[in-house]
Structure 1
Amino acid sequence: MLTRLQRAEDEWGGKNKLIDQWLQNRRTLLIHYFKLANLPPYDNKDSSLPEPEGVHSFCNMLVDYVSEGHFEVYDQVVSECEKHSDDSRQVASSLVPQIAKSTDVALDFNDKFGTKLTSEDERMLELDEELSRLGQAMEERFAYEDQLLDTLHKKVTAELQTNP
């Protein structure tokens, strides 16, 4: 996921302030996810459960990220695609429902872990399994988001080359 993010930043970074902010928020979310899931390069030799406050903080970031996508970024990207051609609009419109599937998984995760937890809360014992499920959904989401950005980027680049 971090490698995909780096490619996205290399490809689309610096071209749009909203996209840059969105990719930075993705990076922050992924770093917190990797720390929470105890994954490299943020793995910790201590195999204890994460702090409940860290789980709560991650849930807030997760909801902010998916909300930003649905209520700010996707609308802008789809609008830009509509300006460029019907085929790019159709591609963009077909990707948004695919992205929405992972939103449901993210919101389910937040519903389960987003409230204040304690170290003794039994939900914490389900955290690893739920993080794995969330990670798979978010990886798919990032792939669809990147396709959405790529669709826009290709259309804008093609127009700039034909209309210098």
Structure 2
Amino acid sequence: MNSVAIDTSSNNLHLVTALQEERSAVWALYCQLAEMKPFSSENAIRPMLSEFSQLLIDYISFGHFSIYEHLIAEKQHQTSTLSHAEKIYPAFSSTTASAVTFSDIYDDGRRKFNTENLAQDLSMLGERLAERMELEDRLCSMLLH
């Protein structure tokens, strides 16, 4: 039984580490984009914005489907943990929706977008990502303990 606990703990640590690596990559690219202000040329920013949007969706999906769902599956018999995770879920899900909306607006290479809105949209996304990171930290803590 102890080896099962070690395997589960090791897998959980691997998931948390992978999430933190994706988070760092997203945040680094987010900062690079933000430093490109003022956004004057749609064509100059489009490749980086597309890369960011794709990485953002991968990161959001990993947190949502790997971390949250793994936590729920693993802690199904710990009602206090489940209750806390379920309280976090609406805000967590809302941050997922914000990231998807951002990606929908800025990752479609065929559609024109207004660079005047990009600074404001990036700022709002940054706030949502900060909120998400706080929620993820709480979920990760539950997963590791």
For the aligned pair, the TM-score class normalised by the smaller chain equals 0.7 to 0.9
Separation of aligned partners in 1, 2:59 and 2:114: 23
Query: TM-score with structure 2 length normalisation?
Result: 0.80
User: Of the candidates 105, 110, 115, which is equivalent to residue 112 of structure 1?
Assistant: 105
How many residues in Structure 1 have an aligned counterpart in Structure 2?
Answer: 132
Residues 1:117 and 1:130: Cα distance change in structure 2 (over 3 Å): farther
Residues 1:87 and 1:145: Cα distance change in structure 2 (over 3 Å): same
Is the 8 Å Cα contact of residues 109 and 130 (structure 1) preserved in structure 2?
yes
Residues 1:143 and 1:62: Cα distance change in structure 2 (over 3 Å): same
- Structure 2 residues not aligned, in runs of 5+: 1-10
User: Of the candidates 17, 20, 23, which is equivalent to residue 20 of structure 2?
Assistant: 23
Output aligned runs, 1:1-164, within 5 Å: 16-38=13-35, 47=38, 49=40, 51-83=45-77, 85-116=78-109, 121-153=112-144, 156=145
Partner secondary structure for residue 82 of structure 1: coil
Separation of aligned partners in 2, 1:17 and 1:122: 38
Higher helix share: 2
Identity over aligned residues, as a percent?
24
Amino acid at match of 1:73: I
The root-mean-square deviation of aligned C-alpha atoms, in Å, is 2.2
Separation of aligned partners in 2, 1:143 and 1:61: 19
- Aligned partner of 1:10 in structure 2 is none
